[in-house]
Amino acid sequence: MKFQAVKGTRDFYPEDMAVRNWILQAWRDVSLRNGFEEYDGPIFEYLDLFKAKSGEGIVSELFHFVDRGDRELAIRPEMTPTLARMICAKAQSLPRPIKWFSVPRVCRAEKPQRGRQREFFQWNADIVGVDDVVADAECILVVLDFFRYVGLTPADCVMKINSRSLLAALLTAKGFAPERHADLYVVLDKRDKLPPEAYAEVLDKVTRSAEERSDLETIVQARGESGLRDLATLGRGNEAAEAEVARLRSLFDTLALMGVGDYCTFDMGVVRGLAYYTGVVFEGFGRAGLQRAICGGGRYDHLLQALGGPPMSGLGFGSSDVVILDLLNDLGRLPASAKVTSRLDYFVIDAEMSLFPVVIELTARLRRAGHGAEFSYRRQAIGKQLKQASTRQAAKAVIVGAEYRDRKALVVKNLATGQQSEVPLDGFPP
């Protein structure tokens, strides 16, 4: 019987592992330099935790099972519930603000497609315990800092920003009762993700008149600075709407001050379908190549309280390694170094079979000294061993030959320049 990897999962051969390590390290580097601390949690949680956060409908999207103690468990599809549970457990002792990030492996029982797998690595960063708009800006900044880190420019991607609070205020002002908002959010979030005819069909199910449909389209089509001005006019006299417009303008001013304003734009079409978002919401999109969402997040001011914790505001985002790597591949932005399985400092070569024991001893000495060192398992000509050293991307070759036998010296060859020199064994490695 021939076995294959389960559909929607990936095998990481050494060259693939190098790329995976590169992207995860980039996430860590950017998170740490922006003041976030790393955390992690179990790969499975009680199923009820995910139900409490996302509702019963989430069950069909999870890999879940019953353990030997008849407990209903689920493999984590994201980190926000785990984050909330962990913070709730120690809420009184954790210093504020809580700025945490994680890079877990997560699983979702969904149909694999371009940019999406059933198993993937997800970058999460959250700021909990701060209501200020500066926290909103910082959460968005760390994403954009990563874009810059991997060479994505404003020509390659855009951060679309909106406010669920503003949307709620405008919907209320237009006569949409608050109890209808959750269903409207789910539908509006699909506006740019469904064919026009499919979107019109689901819109008809949540609206009651042509006037309602027109009002929704007027609101959700607002884009850019002109769109924000139009909504400010539409919400004039509505205290909640005016406050949210002012907060959004403050957010864009802060992002400009942080030097990332050219990545950002206002887009009322970004709604985020999850019910727990309460304020600013945002999604990063590729402009070229993979033109779809590459990250998303927002403010969730009541989530911790809903999961049994104290009232604490928070916001965060998530991004998948699958969609980021697809975009970078499309744009040709993966660095050559990310495709290398490993980088060796030295490749030790024996010019004569009788000197192979010296090669083994010298390689071990190099490794003890902290250098990456390797040798050939096969006894073969120097030329073939040098070719193997180049294939392994070794910086230098160390040749043990007549120089060693005659005067206890080694020949060290720089494989990039071809220059070589003789060094005494006692002084090696330098």
Reported residue count of the chain is 430
Q: Which domain holds residue 145?
A: 11-155+287-340
Same domain, 327 and 397: no
Output the CA–CA distances (angstroms, integers) from residue 28 to 142, 262, 355, in the order listed: 11, 24, 44
Same domain, 150 and 292: yes
- The per-residue pLDDT for range 372-426, each reduced to its tens digit, is 999 999 999 999 999 999 999 899 999 999 999 999 999 999 999 999 999 999 9
Cα–Cα distance, 356 to 400 (Å, whole number) = 8
- The per-residue pLDDT for range 233-248, each reduced to its tens digit, is 988 988 999 999 999 9
Strand, coil or helix: what is 347? Answer: strand
Q: Is residue 396 part of a domain?
A: yes
Same domain, 94 and 106: yes
Which band of pLDDT confidence, cut at 50, 70 and 90, is reported for residue 337? low
Same domain, 35 and 93: yes
Same domain, 172 and 315: no
CATH of the domain at 356: 3.40.50.800
Q: Is residue 389 part of a domain?
A: yes
**Long-range pairs for 260-263: beta carbons < 8 A, 24 or more residues apart:** 260/140, 260/141, 260/144, 260/145, 260/148, 260/159, 262/154, 263/144, 263/147, 263/154, 263/157, 263/158, 263/159
Same domain, 32 and 120: yes
Mean pLDDT of all residues in 293-320: 90
Q: Is residue 329 part of a domain?
A: yes
CATH of the domain at 60: 3.30.930.10
Same domain, 243 and 365: no
Residue type at position 404: Y
Number of domains in the chain: 3
Same domain, 163 and 136: no
Q: Is residue 44 part of a domain?
A: yes
Model pLDDT, residue 203: 87
Cα–Cα distance, 110 to 118 (Å, whole number) = 6
Q: Is residue 404 part of a domain?
A: yes
- Which of 273, 306, 327 finishes a domain? 273
Smallest CA-to-CA distance from 104 within 124, 84, 85 is with: 124
Q: Is residue 282 part of a domain?
A: no
**CA–centroid distance for 338 within its chain:** 17
Q: Is residue 171 part of a domain?
A: yes
Residue carrying the six token digits 């304020």: 279
Q: Which residues of 184-222 are buried (b: 16+ CB within 10 A; e: fewer)?
A: bbbbbbebbeeeeeebeebbeebbeeeebeebbeebbeb
Q: Parallel, antiparallel, or unpaired: how do β-strands 44-46 and 293-299 relate?
A: unpaired
- The per-residue pLDDT for range 67-103, each reduced to its tens digit, is 999 999 999 999 999 999 999 999 889 999 999 999 9
Same domain, 134 and 43: yes
Which band of pLDDT confidence, cut at 50, 70 and 90, is reported for residue 338? low
- Please name every residue paired with 122 in a beta bridge, in sequence order, or none if there are none: 320
Same domain, 292 and 151: yes
Q: Is residue 167 part of a domain?
A: yes
- Which of 273, 306, 323 finishes a domain? 273
Mean pLDDT of all residues in 245-260: 97
Same domain, 213 and 119: no
The stretches of 90-223 forming alpha helices (DSSP H) are 133-149, 164-173, 181-188, 196-206, 210-220
Same domain, 380 and 328: no
Mean pLDDT of all residues in 314-333: 93
**CA–centroid distance for 222 within its chain:** 28
Cα–Cα distance, 377 to 391 (Å, whole number) = 15
Model pLDDT, residue 341: 54
Cα–Cα distance, 80 to 93 (Å, whole number) = 20
DSSP for 52-119, please give it. HHH-GGGGGGS-EEE-TT--EEEE-S-SHHHHHHHHHHTTTTSPSSEEEEE--EEE--S--BTTB-SE
Global confidence as pTM = 0.87
Residue type at position 39: Y
3-state percent helix, strand, coil for the chain, nearest multiple of 5: 45, 20, 35
